Structures are given as C-alpha cells and as structure tokens.
C-alpha cells in the first residue's frame, strides 16, 4: 500500500512547488463523518475554512449539507452570483457599499442573512433596505462563552465575541430590531468556541467543555423563546456548533442547523480531538533547495502562519517524509524553511516535502489554485478564492 507522501509525489511530481493539494478520498470521508455526527441536523459549511469555491460546491452537493456560513458580505454576494441560495454571515459588517448592493438585489436579499449584535450594525442595514424598498434578514449573534463565578471571583471562558449573552439581552435587542423598517430577524447563532475550537488536551479543558454544554443546553432555548416573544414571529434558524462540537450541538432540540468547516480539511490544530477521527485532507508541498549541513535541509517557501496567538502550534508541520522538524530559531520562513532531519529520510536537492497547515482555509490564501487528488492522480485543478481574483479579508 502506497504511503501518503508517495501518492502525492506520484500525482504532482511533474508540477513545480510550492503547491497545494486536497485528497478527495479524505475530504469525502470527512464530509460523511460530519453528516453522521450531525445525526440528521443540516450542516452549514463554513467558507472561511475552505476558500475554494469548487470544494464548497462539492460539499453542498453532499446530502446532509445545506447552506454556507460566509465571513464577508462581498463574499456572500459573489457566492450568490454563482448560484448559492443561502448564505449566513458569521460576522457583522459595516461595509455600506456592500449593504447597498445587497438591498438593491432582490435575489441577494432573499439569499443572504446578516449577523448582528448591536443596533449600530442594524441601522446601517436598515438605511440601505429603506432606500431600496426591500427587506434585509438578520441573525443575532449570541455569546456562547461560559461565565462562572463564586463570590467576587468571575471568569469568562471562551472568546470575546458578542455583547449579547443572556435571554434578556437577546430579547431586548430583538425588540429594538423589530421596530426598524426593512429588517427581519431570521434567527440566532451560538458559536461555542471553547467547545468546538479547543482540542481535548487535558482534564481541565474537558471539564470546561462539559460545563459549557450544560450551560448552553438550558440557555439556548431560553434565548430562542425570548427572541420569538420579542418579535412575535417564529425563528427560521438556530445555528450552533463547529467541527469539534457538531454532535453535541445537534443533540439540542432547539438547534435547527450546525456549522462545520475545519472538519473537512482537518488542519493540525484538530489532531487532538476525541469527538472524531482526524483524516487530514489538505496539504502543501515544498521542494528542497539546499542541504546546508548533514542532517539539515532547506525548502523553498513555507511561511504560511495561522492566525491566533503566535505560538508554535500556529506553524505548519512537515508530515512526509517522517522525522522532519522545524527549527526553533527560524521556523517556517518567508521564502525558505530549514528543517532538521531526525529520521531515516535521505533528502536531496529537488526532493519534495509535504506539510499540513495549522488552520483550515487560511493556507488557500497563499495559492492561486489547488490540485484535487484521488489515489495517485490529479482529478482536477481548481482555483482558490485568490485564483478567482478575490480576497475577502
């Protein structure tokens, strides 16, 4: 049976590096696993974790997936122009030109839902909606972090995302939004980053996850009730989850859909989850251009650092041949990446090294196209967002 590296080498040996590939067998298995873990709850695909339109379309064609979670309004408008019929923005926007374009396009206004957590965001959208005589849909971003306290001691466990946390917060905001012309509250979203985005690295982390899920199991339904009471209308969507918490979010009866994206490519930050079997699907290849000393090689390119805290976990990881490690002093470099050779690999100038990125779709911003591999052959080569001349932030 051929190894991962030998398959990728066989498929792309005739191509220059740096280059990006996606293993279709792993991608399809990951998509099927997300659907299985969702247990019948529709899965919305997070575009920021993909950033390749052909892969988004392939995923949406998989039974069990429905809709895109976008990260930019301009991206959402572009996707709708290519036939996507349901885009939920994961983040607020203050792009007034894009809001005007949304309100001026009836198809886009029906297909896109904005994310809001402040009346200032809503008022920008309302102004555009009133100017064009249309209705813009919005979703309330509800803080899903865990807040615990004992006496004067308080702790916020999770990301600093939305100021809306309690059912009272959500109901009050929804009531004010309901008074705005041209705006309709379509749903609410909860992203429990401290559950979906943290690997199971310690008993403390697992305890935080259990407490967070317990808190959300009660608070989520109360928020939904408060928003529906404030608007006088039933909510169409209650979105929650992430690749690391799909099955937990889907188990809540108030949740109508879950979101996943990183679980398709499975970057290195997702290696230590207990909730699913990681099948890495996205890789990038670099060629060895120097052998500066015995036990050392240097590859061209590679400085594709993931967002987040600037720690070693945000660097890419060489995965084939085995035994290669980045150096503490230089790491993954701007135009060259030195590595120690601690295994039995006999690398020479011109040989290829395969890496995995720390986060999912971010690496695709560094390439114009990506090669979709099956077995030892390229099935197709497709453009990334960048390859289609779009960078949305």
**DSSP for residue 9:** H
In the prediction, which pLDDT does 122 show? 98
* Cβ neighbours, 10 Å, residue 224: 22
Closest CA to 188 of 149, 228, 237, 248: 237
Coil/strand/helix, residue 383: strand
According to DSSP H, which parts of 72-186 are helical? 73-81, 96-104, 106-111, 119-132, 167-178
Q: How far apart are CA 348 and CA 364, in angstroms?
A: 27
The dihedral built from the CA positions of residue 309, 389, 79 and 33, taken in this order, carries a sign that is negative
Closest CA to 194 of 243, 159, 160: 159
Q: What is the pLDDT of residues 2-53, one digit of tens each?
A: 688 999 999 999 999 999 999 999 999 999 999 999 999 999 999 999 999 9
Write phi, then psi, for 14 (nearest 5 degrees).
-85, 0
**Domains in the chain: boundaries:** 24-268, 282-385
In the prediction, which pLDDT does 273 show? 74
pLDDT < 50 regions, the chain: 1, 196
Domain 282-385 in the same topology as domain 24-268:
no
- DSSP for 189-246 reads EE--HHHHSS---SHHHHHHHHHHHHHHHHHHHHHHHHHHHHHTS--SEEEE--TTTH
> Is 331 within 8 Å of 315 (Cβ atoms)?
yes
Q: Does domain 24-268 fall into CATH 3.30.70.1450?
A: no
In the prediction, which pLDDT does 278 show? 79
Coil/strand/helix, residue 15: coil
In the prediction, which pLDDT does 1 show? 42
In the prediction, which pLDDT does 152 show? 66
In the prediction, which pLDDT does 204 show? 59
Contacts 24+ apart (CB under 8 A), 307-310: 307/359, 307/362, 308/359
Q: Which residues contact 259 (CB under 8 A, 6 or more apart)?
A: 43, 44, 45, 46, 69, 90, 191, 239, 240, 241, 242
Q: How far apart are CA 347 and CA 321, in angstroms?
A: 9
Q: Does domain 282-385 fall into CATH 2.40.37.20?
A: yes
Q: What pTM value is reported for the model? A: 0.92
The residues pairing with 377 across neighbouring beta strands, listed in sequence order, are 374
Count Cα atoms within 13 angstroms, Cβ side, for 359. 22
**Given the DSSP bridges, would you call strands 336-341 and 377-383 parallel, antiparallel or unpaired?**
unpaired
């Amino acid at each position: 049976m051929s190894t991962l590296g030998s398959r990728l080498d066989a498929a792309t040996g005739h191509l220059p590096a740096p280059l990006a590939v996606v293993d279709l067998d792993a991608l399809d298995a990951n998509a099927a696993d997300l659907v299985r873990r969702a247990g019948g709850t529709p899965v919305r695909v997070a575009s920021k974790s993909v950033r390749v339109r052909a892969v988004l379309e392939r995923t949406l064609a998989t039974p069990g997936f429905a809709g895109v979670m976008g990260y930019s309004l301009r991206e959402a408008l572009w996707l709708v122009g290519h036939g996507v019929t349901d885009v939920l923005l994961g983040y607020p926007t203050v792009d007034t030109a894009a809001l005007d374009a949304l309100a001026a396009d009836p198809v886009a206004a029906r297909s896109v839902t904005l994310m809001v957590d402040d009346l200032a965001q809503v008022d920008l959208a309302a102004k555009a909606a009133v100017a064009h005589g249309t209705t813009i849909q919005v979703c309330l971003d509800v803080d899903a972090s865990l807040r615990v306290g004992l006496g004067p001691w308080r702790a916020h466990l999770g990301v600093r995302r939305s100021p809306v946390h309690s059912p009272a917060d959500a109901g009050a905001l929804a009531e004010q939004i309901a008074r705005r012309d041209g705006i309709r509250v379509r749903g609410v979203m909860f992203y429990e980053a401290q559950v979906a985005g943290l690997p199971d690295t310690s008993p403390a982390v697992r305890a935080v996850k259990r407490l967070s899920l317990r808190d959300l199991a009660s608070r989520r339904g109360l928020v939904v009730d408060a928003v529906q009471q404030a608007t006088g209308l039933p909510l169409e969507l209650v979105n929650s989850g992430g690749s690391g918490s799909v099955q937990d979010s889907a188990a809540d009866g108030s949740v109508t859909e879950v979101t996943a994206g990183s679980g398709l490519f499975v970057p290195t930050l997702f290696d230590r989850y207990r909730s699913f079997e990681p099948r890495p699907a996205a890789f990038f290849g670099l060629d060895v251009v120097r052998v500066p000393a015995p036990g050392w090689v240097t590859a061209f390119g590679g400085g594709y650092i993931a967002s987040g805290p600037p720690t070693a976990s945000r660097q890419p990881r060489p995965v084939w041949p085995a035994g290669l490690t980045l150096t503490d002093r230089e790491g993954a470099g701007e135009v060259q990446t030195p590595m120690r050779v601690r295994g039995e690999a006999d690398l020479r100038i011109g040989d290829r090294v395969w890496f995995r990125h720390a986060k999912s779709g971010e690496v695709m911003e560094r390439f114009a196209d990506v090669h979709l591999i099956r077995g030892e052959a390229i099935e197709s080569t497709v453009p990334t967002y960048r390859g289609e001349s779009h960078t949305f932030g």
